[in-house]
């Protein structure tokens, strides 16, 4: 007779945190089953393969995962070098998935999670029932699996926030999807570059990703084939002394460099800033170009393209039959939210946390990785690895290990993931590479900034933006 204890732990997502969770579960003698919606492991990371991380190889390889890889002859790349997303996926994440073998199921999109025979209303014997996970296969077929616990490491990359200033899509935003992107485009790709060269592009957002997009577009504008490339920078707030960050005084030099590059794009006339503008509608003119309409009635001149960089949010729909305890603002676990409030913390000042902060009223379900941060923008790979180490220990009944802190974050952990240090050598300081304090450098707009991304939506890099 099969009991709940004989069932696997379902891990949703084969990204960095999900694969690390599987490694830690195996270390504790528990059987993981990793469910990945995409066709390969780390599908989301592959979508920003051109991004170079600020985190070093020494910081983006999980210790338990490294132990699993060791018998295969795998060796960690130079610990002080910073991989791109593509290098991270090819040299570490895919080999880890290969070692896990049949424990990773690809093309398995989770559509619902509940307690067997219990919707969220029913109390009777609830905690004694196994979890039931519904999924859709790549061939369109449906099935269900049963699990003793569920670790949701699905990230937030697939659910970017909209252009609308109220948190909802602007009127007409969906209809204009052919001219809108929600990621910083890879302007080193000739086909992508041609979409924006000599065009007028609106960039909506005020974080590191927006800075990067402005710098990239300025780089196109100064190229031989980009004459006439212009940006309209849409800011929901007014401009102040802190709009562009701390510049050369920033303790995080790469973040300061991004701000300086964005400021240069404005100062040099490549970008025009529009402040206090909350997008209410997106319309088309007679030529098919887009008109942005603000909540205050302002109508901006037509643009050819729109880049929306307003953050990411978690997809909680398939968890609706579970009893989650989430902060009403961040949509992060209630006990974790005060520790990651972006008004108070950067990724380097978040206190290491584990199963207790990640727990919910529904026992046995954990949101980890970027998804655990809800709408908070800063996340470190090392934080995700510490989360799943603690959660795996708790599921195995080793409370002493689960409560033990085994992580020391760098005091100046770089928030924003990647940025303008495209040359790995330029990102290394005297105290340990990219997530230490790199030596500041004058950033030339002609260098071309890679996209800013995070661990899970970022799945990858140092933090999200």
Q: What is the pLDDT along the chain (465 residues), one digit of tens a residue?
A: 457 889 999 999 999 999 999 999 999 999 999 999 999 999 999 998 877 776 789 889 999 999 999 999 999 999 888 888 899 999 999 999 999 999 999 999 999 999 999 999 999 999 999 999 999 999 999 999 999 999 999 999 999 999 999 999 999 999 999 999 999 899 999 999 999 999 999 999 987 788 889 989 999 999 999 999 999 999 998 776 656 665 555 444 455 566 788 888 888 999 999 999 999 999 999 999 999 999 999 999 999 999 999 999 999 999 999 999 999 999 999 999 998 887 775 555 667 789 999 999 999 999 999 999 999 877 888 899 999 999 999 999 999 999 998 876 554 433 433 333 333 333 333 333 333 333 323 323 333 333 333 333 333 333 332
96 closest CA partner among 12, 47, 151, 24: 24
Q: What is the pTM of this model?
A: 0.84
CA distance 247 to 253: 8
Strand pairing category for 279-284 and 290-294: antiparallel
Q: To 5 degrees, how large is the angle CA 428–CA 43–CA 140?
A: 175
The whole-angstrom separation of Cα 300 and Cα 303 is 8
**pLDDT value of residue 259:** 72
User: 313: Cβ–Cβ under 8 A, 6 or more apart, which residues?
Assistant: 156, 159, 160, 161, 331, 374, 375
DSSP string, 233-288: EE-SS---TTTTTTGGG-SSHHHHHHHHHHHHHHHTTSEEEE-S--EEEEEE-TTS
Q: pLDDT at position 68, please? A: 97
Q: How far apart are CA 105 and CA 109, in angstroms?
A: 10
User: Can you tell me the distance from the alpha carbon of 13 to that of 151, in angstroms, rounded to the nearest whole number?
Assistant: 9
**What does the pLDDT read at residue 25?**
98
Burial class (CB in 10 A: 0-12, 13-18, 19+), 446: exposed
For residue 63, report the phi and psi dihedrals to the nearest 5 degrees. Answer: -60, -45
């Amino acid at each position: 007779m099969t009991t709940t204890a004989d069932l696997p732990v379902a891990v949703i997502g084969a990204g960095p945190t999900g694969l690390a969770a599987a490694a830690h579960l195996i270390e504790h003698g528990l059987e993981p089953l990793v469910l990945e919606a995409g066709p390969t492991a780390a599908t989301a990371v592959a979508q920003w393969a051109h991004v170079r991380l600020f985190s070093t190889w020494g910081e983006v390889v999980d210790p338990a995962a490294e132990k699993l890889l060791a018998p295969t002859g795998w060796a960690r790349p130079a610990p002080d070098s910073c991989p791109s997303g593509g290098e991270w996926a090819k040299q570490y994440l895919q080999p880890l998935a290969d070692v896990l073998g049949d424990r990773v199921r690809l093309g398995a999109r989770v559509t619902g999670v509940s307690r067997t025979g219990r919707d969220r209303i029913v109390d009777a014997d609830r905690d004694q029932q196994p979890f039931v996970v519904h999924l859709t296969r790549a061939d369109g077929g449906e099935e269900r699996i049963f699990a003793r616990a569920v670790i949701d490491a699905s990230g937030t990359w697939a659910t970017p926030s909209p252009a609308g200033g109220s948190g909802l899509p602007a009127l007409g935003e969906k209809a204009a999807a052919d001219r809108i992107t929600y990621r910083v485009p890879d302007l080193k790709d000739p086909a992508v570059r041609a979409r924006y060269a000599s065009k007028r592009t609106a960039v909506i957002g005020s974080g590191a990703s927006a800075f990067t997009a402005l710098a990239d577009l300025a780089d196109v504008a100064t190229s031989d084939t980009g004459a006439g490339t212009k940006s309209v920078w849409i800011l929901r707030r007014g401009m102040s002394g802190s709009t562009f960050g701390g510049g050369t005084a920033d303790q995080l030099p790469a973040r300061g460099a991004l701000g300086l590059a964005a400021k240069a794009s404005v100062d040099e006339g490549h970008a025009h800033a529009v402040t206090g503008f909350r997008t209410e509608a997106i319309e088309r003119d007679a030529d098919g170009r887009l008109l942005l309409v603000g909540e205050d009635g302002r109508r901006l001149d037509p643009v050819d393209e729109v880049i929306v960089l307003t953050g990411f949010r978690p997809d909680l729909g398939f968890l609706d039959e579970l009893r989650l305890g989430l902060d009403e603002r961040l949509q992060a676990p209630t006990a974790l939210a005060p520790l990651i409030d972006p008004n108070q913390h950067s990724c380097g000042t978040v206190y290491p946390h584990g199963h207790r902060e990640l727990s919910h009223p529904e026992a046995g379900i954990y949101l980890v990785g970027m998804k655990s941060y809800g709408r908070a923008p800063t996340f470190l790979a090392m934080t995700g690895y510490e989360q799943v180490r603690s959660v795996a220990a708790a599921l195995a009944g080793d409370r002493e290990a689960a409560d033990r802190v085994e992580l020391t974050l760098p005091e100046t952990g770089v928030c924003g993931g990647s940025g303008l240090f495209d040359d790995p050598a330029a990102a290394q300081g005297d105290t340990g590479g990219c997530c230490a304090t790199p030596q500041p450098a004058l950033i030339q707009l002609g260098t071309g900034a890679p996209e800013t991304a995070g661990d899970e939506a970022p799945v990858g890099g140092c933090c999200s933006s």
